[in-house]
A and B are shown apart, each in its own frame.
Chain A
Amino acid sequence: MGIDVKDKLIKLIETLGYVEGDTIILQGTLGADDAYPASFFTFFNPETVELYADNVPYKAFWYIELNYYSNDPTSVNTIFETLKPLLKSNGFKVEGKGFDVPSDEPEWTGRGINIIYEDIY
């Protein structure tokens, strides 16, 4: 029921030239010995809340954490300015202006945003 919102998000980011499984990955899935790509996105869906009417689900709120890591600090600070209008025009709600996220590599910095998608069945 409903759509796969993670898939929708990945396809949107792919329009910016990033590749699923390579520069768009699930948070925490990069191997200990894998090198960081120069710039990449990670995502995580901590929760999806379904709402019911007469015991029938009629919509879901998808909460997704989207992070961007890069060894180019300028792009870290500007990437979401490019991405936010694209997300908004495709039905995603973006909360705030984002925040710094921790990186395993000292030369990479990261920035994250929380997004919500209201999936009406």
Chain B
Amino acid sequence: MKGNAKKFRQSGVLDYDFGKLINGLESLGEDYNKEIKNTIKEVAEEVRLELKKQVSKGQHYYSGQVKKSLQNKNEVKVENPWSGKITAEVGFKRSEGGAVAYWLERGTPRMPAYRIISKSAKKVDAQQILSKQVSDKLLKQWNKGRK
């Protein structure tokens, strides 16, 4: 229920809380923030490429302005070092014409919703990929520590 509810976020920013996994890694005695940040960046890039693909096709493509407003840099930042929350911002810049992406996501009475943001998020499933990659790293380190 909680996971599904996240699909309704309207920000156009995909952010996931990996506090538990990060704390698990840190409890093994090493700082993995840098490695995790790189992993998050890689997944954010996958989301960005999918958004680019979705926005470039279909009946809604007109002037290419929304595509141009897609941000090339996926800034990864540690939001709260105490809880271990790291986020990556992926999406369209409103001031550069990206507001239309919201129209495409939501539709209007006369225009059906094209849902480019939710389609991209669903296709890449960033949460699942990240969970797997970070869990693999945790498991690898755990096994190493047990030898």
With A47-B7, A49-B4, A61-B4 known to touch, is A104 a contact of B111 (CB < 8 Å)?
yes
Main DSSP-derived SS at the A contact region:
strand
Interface residue? A30 (CB, 8 A): yes
Closest beta carbon of chain B to A92's beta carbon, Å? 14
**Which of A40, A104, A116 touches B108 (beta carbons < 8 Å)?**
A104
> In the bound complex, what is the Cα–Cα distance between A119 and B113 (angstroms)?
25
A interface list, Cβ under 8 A from B: 25, 27-32, 34, 36, 40, 42, 44, 46-47, 49, 61, 63, 65, 67, 69, 95, 99, 101-104, 112, 114, 116
Residues from chain A with a CB closer than 8 A to the CB of B140 are none
Does A28 lie within 8 Å of B5, measured CB to CB? Answer: no
Write out the residue numbers on chain A whose beta carbons fall within 8 Å of the beta carbon of B110.
28, 30-32, 34, 104
By a CB distance below 8 angstroms, the chain B residues around A61 are: 1, 4
Question: Given A27-B113, A46-B115, A102–B108 Cβ distance below 8 Å?
Answer: yes
Bound complex: CA of A47 vs CA of B113, how far in Å? 13
Show 11 A/B contacts (Cβ-Cβ < 8 Å), sorted by A.
A27-B113, A31-B110, A32-B110, A34-B110, A44-B113, A49-B4, A63-B4, A69-B109, A95-B5, A99-B10, A101-B108
